[in-house]
A and B are shown apart, each in its own frame.
Chain A
Amino acid sequence: MTISDSPFLTDKAALLSRLRSVLPAHCLLADAEDLRPYECDGLTAYRELPLLVCLPENEGQVLDVLRICHSLKVPVVARGAGTGLSGGAMPHAQGVVLSLARFNKILRVDRDARLAVVQPGVRNLAVSEAAAPYGLYYAADASSQIACTLGGNVAENSGGVHCLKYGLTVHNILRLRMVSIEGEIFEIGSEAPDAPGFDILALMIGSEGMLGVVTEVTVKLVPRPELAQVVMASFDQVAQAGDAVAAIIAAGIIPAGLEMMDKPATAAVEPYVHAGYDLAAEAILLCESDGTPEEVAEEISRVTEVLTASGARDIRVSQSEAERLRFWAGRKAAFPAVGRITPDYYCMDGTIPRKRLAEMLAAIAGMEQKYGLRCANVFHAGDGNLHPLIMYDASKPGEWARAEAFGAEILELSVKLGGSITGEHCVGIEKINQMCVQYSTPELNMFHAVKAAFDESGLLNPGKAVPSLHRCAEYGRMHVHHGAVKFPELERF
């Protein structure tokens, strides 16, 4: 997918000469071979070469770049590690990629106040590592945390497996320093519990680089739990597993993680990681409990009771940290494992109310028949976030089109069941058209107006996140060719 009907036409030579006056040579890339690594993010199906890549080293340079781009009407696409899965950092053919990779310093870790001030190019995991000596960590640990950056997390409002209990990125950020496209600096939020005025902080988080460029992030740190243990339960019917998820919540338990895999997913994973999954089961649940040893013991015993009452055919509780990690290994390896058994797959990212899980799975089974394609399902069951992996072979005529239609039907059904087209990967360029399914014209118009309040000239990440009304026609999805996800070493779950 490309961004069509672009109103931008950039004079590259003029832009380059202006940028050279504010950036040292090593902060500016203009040759095609240097630009190539920036042509896509983690969603490799959608590619575009930018005109230039800027790698500023300080906020002053960011201001200069933005002011120049603003004066010349040049699109700007901010970029962190480029691990996003929706093409949000895909460049604009007439624009500049503004890489924040060199903003990689942790400026302050405050043990007493339990916060860290970091630059946006700092990796998610690095924050927790820096906080570890104080017994603290950053709880919004997106699955790709060894590589993804805080700036990217802020742009995407990233989730992960712990958000049921610990919240999304939006619940774990205290303050941002942001530069507008016009080169104005904004302090948003604070180290106090709140800040005066509108909650601009909430609006910024998940805004996909459309409203401003973040140059500093203050995150909340929380005490690391003393212990974590996981319960693995297997079920004869998917519906039973779905009901068990509801029963755990109904019992007043909010687990640290609550994940589900169906039979095709465990079948793909088990030969790959030998996690010890029950291959005869139609579905397995992983339910993690964390806290003090007393708390964990109490919660595990209650969870076990609920799972037994829900008809689990087998229940196992991790007896060591090694066993806990082994139970999780299969869930974490689901994407690459499916990539081993099929030439290509698509990953979807819809959310639905938990109680509709069984209904959704039955519908997906029907779609497998309808489209003649297989689908493995892994879920953040606790918060109803689905990652169906549709398997197909791009080399066979017609399979891609069928897979595309299959995915479209899943996302449409997610909306119909009361959910959303995206739970944690954001819209980017990938789901731009599906926004039309989820929102109607007045909301889309309001999104455009909000964007204009921050970026009247529409230069920040144009064509992403919110579709123009005349674009509302087709549907797109994540396309992974031959299991070749960019950054295959990253956990994706």
Chain B
Amino acid sequence: MDLDDLLLVVREACQSGRQLRLRGAGSKDFYGGMLAGDVLDVRAYQGIVAYEPTELYVTARCGTSLVDIESVLAEQGQMLAFEPPRFSGATLGGCVAAGLSGPRRQQAGAVRDFVLGVKLIDGTGQRLDFGGQVMKNVAGYDVSRLLAGSMGTLGLLAEVTLKVLPKAVAEETITFEMNESEAIACLNRWGGQPLPVSASFWTDGRLFLRLSGARAAVEAARRKLGGDAAVDGKNLWDSVRDQTHPAFAGPVLWRLALPSTAAPLGLEGLTAIEWGGGQRWLRSDLQAADVRAVAAKAGGHAVLYRAPESLRCLEGAFAPLSPALLALHRRLKKTFDPKGILNPGRLYAEF
């Protein structure tokens, strides 16, 4: 499969008004709103196009699996610092389109922070190049970053360039027994100090912290913070990153993005806290409107993360937008996909 094949499919779909459901490995079929349209499987459009370790970037086609990209990066001691979930065979295109980040997000930043450039196929089947391969580029609007998390509704991310970073020299995991409110308080207090905390995970009365950096810095932080050394830290963080940890199981799982300092919400079913308090997981049958109201009151928002498709379509996977923002979203959607053929309803039912 080459780029022209993809361009042709989208162009023809635009002409005939055929709706397309952009799909890599389908590892995130569970995520977002309605799954509509004919599947356009992009897995065959794969491969690393360019990798320059000393330039700190990798460019790959959308169908390339994250595991493949990371194994090439690892040979040079580098990584995707936002630690996206790899699920089963997750691809680069889906990773950027879904905009999900993993445990290191609290220290390193989110997917969008690492997007340098995108080769995009818009809803008319037109090829567009935004951004590039350099770290600094302020020419033109930052369309590449806008596309991160857009759930494929603005275009097909045919090729993406991501900033990569060196892996830390040293990494250790320590653990503390503490309750939810103690954990939130500690995480925020430590966050204000120059400590090399690269990930945090609280579940079931226990807080895990990952320290990453220069060996001396990790050792100094461990002495300062105390706690116990965790056994098998790497497996723990992999299970958090790929969401195979039991905290992420359940028929209905909510993801709450909150100010890190938000006090315990008092909702039943909290299973985990990540990102220094900024991301919290809830296994709950509560009414969607109630969960969303509590999250909004705390200054954040709630995503109906894992749930039967019928429920996600009924309630919307993502928190509703203000009328002004929704109108702006519709205008942007029309700009990139005038016929509304790409992943309709996957982000919001309105488009």
Measured CB to CB, the residues of A under 8 A from B are 110-114, 134-136, 156-157, 159, 163-164, 167-168, 170-171, 180, 184-188, 190-200, 202-203, 205-207, 210-211, 223-226, 246-247, 249-250, 252-254, 291-292, 294-295, 297-299, 351-355, 380, 383-385, 418-427, 431, 435, 438-440, 442-443, 446-447, 449-454, 465-466
Most chain A CB inside 10 Å of its own CB: which residue of B138, B259, B324? B138
Which partner residue on chain A sits nearest B191 by CB separation? A114
- Tell me how far the C-beta of B246 lies from the nearest C-beta in chain A, rounded to whole angstroms: 23
Option from B78, B143, B188, B216 in Cβ contact (under 8 Å) with A298? B216
Interface contact A420-B261, CB-CB below 8 Å = no
Interface contact B134-A225, CB-CB below 8 Å = no
- Tell me how far the C-beta of A246 lies from the nearest C-beta in chain B, rounded to whole angstroms: 4
Most chain B CB inside 10 Å of its own CB: which residue of A112, A188, A223? A112
Option from A184, A253, A355 in Cβ contact (under 8 Å) with B324? A184
Give the CA-CA distance A159 to B136 in the complex, in Å: 8
Option from B150, B214, B219 in Cβ contact (under 8 Å) with A198? B150
| B245 at interface, CB cutoff 8 A | no
Considering only residues 165-219 of chain B, those with a C-beta below 8 Å from chain A are 165-167, 169, 188-189, 191-196, 213-217, 219
Which partner residue on chain B sits nearest A294 by CB separation? B216
Given A196-B321, A197-B329, A199-B145, CB of A418 within 8 Å of CB of B134: yes
Report chain A residues within 8 Å CB of B325. Answer: 186-188, 197, 200
Report chain A residues within 8 Å CB of B112. Answer: 199, 202
Which partner residue on chain B sits nearest A383 by CB separation? B135
Most chain B CB inside 10 Å of its own CB: which residue of A164, A193, A354? A193
Report chain A residues within 8 Å CB of B278. Answer: 192-193
Report chain B residues within 8 Å CB of A425. Answer: 138
Besides the contacts A112-B192, A252-B167, A423-B137, what 7 more A-B pairs have beta carbons closer than 8 Å?
A167-B109, A194-B149, A198-B149, A249-B54, A292-B217, A423-B136, A427-B138
Option from A291, A419, A423, A465 in Cβ contact (under 8 Å) with B214? A291
Count B interface residues, CB 8 Å: 86
Interface contact B134-A443, CB-CB below 8 Å = no
Give the CA-CA distance A13 to B62 in the complex, in Å: 56
Given A292-B220, A294-B214, A295-B217, CB of A447 within 8 Å of CB of B141: yes
Interface contact B214-A225, CB-CB below 8 Å = no
Considering only residues 285-321 of chain B, those with a C-beta below 8 Å from chain A are 299-301, 303, 318-321
| B275 at interface, CB cutoff 8 A | yes
Report chain A residues within 8 Å CB of B321. Answer: 196-197
Given A193-B279, A202-B142, A291-B217, CB of A446 within 8 Å of CB of B335: yes
Given A113-B188, A157-B142, A355-B52, CB of A192 within 8 Å of CB of B335: no
Report chain B residues within 8 Å CB of A294. Answer: 214, 216-217, 219-220
Interface contact A157-B138, CB-CB below 8 Å = yes
Report chain B residues within 8 Å CB of A246. Answer: 54
Give the CA-CA distance A440 to B130 in the complex, in Å: 10
Interface contact A111-B132, CB-CB below 8 Å = no
| B1 at interface, CB cutoff 8 A | no
Give the CA-CA distance A439 to B195 in the complex, in Å: 42
Report chain B residues within 8 Å CB of A254. Answer: 165-166
| B127 at interface, CB cutoff 8 A | yes
Measured CB to CB, the residues of B under 8 A from A are 52-56, 76-78, 99, 105-106, 109-110, 112-113, 122, 126-130, 132-143, 145-146, 148-150, 154, 165-167, 169, 188-189, 191-196, 213-217, 219-220, 257-261, 275, 278-279, 299-301, 303, 318-322, 324-325, 328-329, 331-332, 334-336, 347-348
Lowest 9 CB-CB distances: which A-B pairs, in order?
A294-B216, A252-B166, A202-B145, A192-B300, A423-B136, A246-B54, A453-B331, A420-B137, A295-B217
- Tell me how far the C-beta of A155 lies from the nearest C-beta in chain B, rounded to whole angstroms: 10
- Tell me how far the C-beta of B31 lies from the nearest C-beta in chain A, rounded to whole angstroms: 13
Report chain B residues within 8 Å CB of A384. Answer: 55, 134-136
- Tell me how far the C-beta of A264 lies from the nearest C-beta in chain B, rounded to whole angstroms: 23
Given A113-B260, A196-B321, A420-B137, CB of A134 within 8 Å of CB of B335: no
Most chain B CB inside 10 Å of its own CB: which residue of A190, A351, A420, A426? A420
Report chain A residues within 8 Å CB of B194. Answer: 135, 223-226, 291-292
Interface contact A200-B146, CB-CB below 8 Å = yes
Report chain A residues within 8 Å CB of B279. Answer: 193
Interface contact A450-B141, CB-CB below 8 Å = yes
Report chain A residues within 8 Å CB of B53. Answer: 249-250
Give the CA-CA distance A164 to B320 in the complex, in Å: 36
Most chain B CB inside 10 Å of its own CB: which residue of A187, A199, A354? A199
Interface contact B136-A385, CB-CB below 8 Å = yes
Interface contact A196-B319, CB-CB below 8 Å = yes
Report chain B residues within 8 Å CB of A191. Answer: 259, 299-300
What are 21 A-B pairs at a CB distance below 8 A? A112-B261, A135-B193, A186-B324, A190-B257, A192-B300, A193-B257, A195-B301, A196-B320, A197-B348, A198-B150, A198-B347, A203-B145, A210-B141, A211-B141, A250-B76, A294-B216, A353-B134, A420-B132, A452-B331, A453-B332, A453-B335
